[in-house]
Amino acid sequence: MSKRIGMEVAIAAAEAAALCRFDVAAVYPITPQSHVAEHLSDIVADGRIDAEFITVESEHSALSSAIGAAGTGARVVTATSSQGLMYMHEVLPIASAMRLPIVMIIANRAVSGPLNIWNDHTDIMHERDTGWISLFAQNGQEVVDMTIQAFKIGEHRDVMLPVNVNMDGFQLTHMVEPILMPEQEEVDKFLPAYKPYAMVHPDTPVSMGTLAMPEFYAEALKAKDMAMAASRKIIAQVWKDWEKQFGRKYEPIEAHRAEDAEVLMLTMGSMGETAEIAINELRKHGVKAGLLKLKLWRPFPFEELKKLTKNAKVLVVTDRAVSFGGPGGPVCGEVKAALYDEPNRPKIVNYLIGLGGRDLTISDFVDMMKRAAEATKKMPAEAYEYYGVRE
Amino acid sequence: MADKKGPETWKEMNPGCMVFRPGSSREYHTGSWRAQKPVWQNEKCIKCGICYIFCPEGCIKEDEEGYFVADLNYCKGCGICAHECWPGAIKMVEED
Ligand code: SF4
Ligand code: SF4
């Protein structure tokens, strides 16, 4: 049986990785990091699991080492945040192209400049198209669960892709939360030992990270994209297995009071919990409000979104990142693309919120929902709004 | 692509474009890129082996007499060997 403990979420994430018996952790403790890095290092140094901790000189080297280690057939974990993730950027598409199921725990934070290390989703949005599966957790429990699930999803033979688990910096990473920490035997049962598809070894010669000339490059990209598409089924299956064993349900989009909702809100990450309270408040006052919490950013759950929004009049999409000169926030762009062909699609309002750690209260969410109906009349002149910005 | 055969469709791509046949890159003849080829004048050669070490293709071999020759199937004509050779024993000449 899982034990309920109070633990800082970043530390709990590292503990979850340890429960997965990683073989190698390659992490660089750049600012901004989270306690994931130092706790992974503690776990290895204390000999709690039989693993290597590679001390590297940069984030670029952290992921490069992770790739090298994964190429030898190791189960590998890494972690980063903000600028560190950007420094890794060059290597992210290589990890996915090499089909190495590395798991990366990301403390989502703003990127500089202006200099800011507080929470938003700008860092991961830059990595959207690098071919990684992206999960978004709304609380500490989900961080722990998703970290364990991530290995099982990524390592599946139909997938073989790296997975990142996103947790809001500070709002989650630095909070002490009550968490049901699974027992080792439970995790062992859920996640069998890693059987790599291939590994660099004298007995099994293989070339990894090969060249693809123009006549093969497009085929290689399509193969990777199809693996990403195939992961939808595997993610659903892994989440079903998880629910069966641990009793906690996971879906690409978790709906809250959405069935008969006229005004829907969509959030990603920890804000979902605050927004949920706001929705309940609005319901008390007779507003037909509902909430969609997006848990799977890549592959994007197009079908689920269509189904969940088909009866709504207005959809309020919140974004914690900016696409300068673009159509609004990156999440909203995706949502609009998903619903474009739907005959009865809701009006879509996009608020850019919580940027660089700007606090959001329940009344902010209530306010956004109330103003949404008004905002739809102004569209598309004001495609998106910086919520709460001083004019 | 010389005579190398690759996968026809995306479905035939190995995951991660992995190649399981050792030494298969030998089948790719980089020599077809060449515009100039190195020509050795052995009378100037002091057998230092610098050309052999510096060739980025690893296509220079030592012959029985200790002189050096390039395998023109792989020599891409970069001229590094000629540039590095101290006594100037290597000349780059235009391909016909
Ligand atoms: S020209 Fe370049 S590739 Fe050819 S033998 Fe000299 S160093 Fe090697
Ligand atoms: S570098 Fe010049 S001198 Fe030295 S071995 Fe090669 S050809 Fe001879």
Q: What pLDDT score does B1 carry? A: 40
CB-based contact A212 B20, cutoff 8 Å: no
Q: Give the pLDDT confidence of A270-325 residue by residue, as tens digits.
A: 999 999 999 999 999 999 999 999 999 999 999 999 999 999 999 999 999 999 99
Q: Would you say residue A42 has pLDDT above 70?
A: yes
Task: Compute and round to an integer the Cα radius of gyration of chain B.
Answer: 17
Residue A381 reports pLDDT greater than 60: no
Residue B27 has pLDDT above 90, yes or no: no
Displacement of CA B52 from its chain's centroid (Å)? 10
A131 backbone φψ class: left, alpha, beta (φ>0; ψ -120 to 50): left
> B26 pLDDT band (50/70/90 cuts)?
confident
Give the Cα-Cα-Cα angle A192, A197, A201 (nearest 5 degrees). 110
Of the three residues A192, A218, A246, the one that is the final residue of a domain is A246
- Domain encompassing residue A68: 3-246
Residues A269 and A235 in one domain: no
CB contact under 8 A, B19 and A197: no
Q: What is the pLDDT of residues A143-189, one digit of tens each?
A: 999 999 999 999 999 999 999 999 999 999 999 999 999 999 999 99
User: What is the domain-level CATH number for residue A44?
Assistant: 3.40.50.970
Percentage of residues in chain A having pLDDT higher than 90: 92
Tell me, yes or no, whether A237 and A142 share the same domain. yes
Contact B17 A97 (CB under 8 A): yes
> Phi and psi at residue A288, in whole multiples of 5°?
-80, 80
Inform me whether the C-beta atom of residue B19 falls under 8 Å from chain A C-beta atoms. Answer: yes
**Interior/surface letters A243-255, b for 16+ CB within 10 angstroms, e for the rest:** eeebeeebbbbbb
Rounded mean pLDDT, B71-93: 97
Of A212, A218, A226, the CB nearest to B17: A212
pLDDT at A335 over 50: yes
Structure tokens at A78: 């890494």
Does A125 reside within a domain? Answer: yes
* For residue A353, pLDDT beyond 60: yes
Pick among 3.20.20.10, 3.30.70.890, 3.50.50.60, 3.30.70.20: CATH of B30-94: 3.30.70.20
| Greatest pairwise CA separation for chain A in angstroms | 69
In DSSP notation, B58-90 reads --EEE-TTS-EEE-TTT-----HHHHH-TT--E
Q: Are residues A330 and A226 in the same domain?
A: no
Instruction: From A18, A378, A365, A335, select the one nearest A181 (Cα to Cα).
Output: A18
* pLDDT surpassing 60 at residue A355: yes
- Indicate yes or no: CB of B24 within 8 angstroms of CB of A216: no
**A81-110 residues touching B, CB cutoff 8 A:** 97-100
Interface of B with A in 34-73 (CB under 8 A): none
Cβ-defined contacts of A336-341 (< 8 Å, 24+): A338/A300, A338/A302, A338/A305, A338/A306, A339/A305, A339/A306, A339/A309, A339/A315
pLDDT tens figures, A4-31: 999 999 999 999 999 999 999 999 987 7
Query: Do A63 and A85 lie in a common domain?
Result: yes
Residues in contact with ligand 1 by the CB-under-6-Å rule are B 38, 55, 57, 59-60, 70, 75-81
CA dist., res. A252 & res. A299, Å (int): 9
Mutation choice for B interface testing from A210, A211, A221, A225 by most B CBs within 10 A: A210
Q: What b-and-e string marks burial along A205-236, b requiring 16 or more CB atoms within 10 Å of the CB? A: ebbbebeeeeebeebbbebbeebbebbbebbb
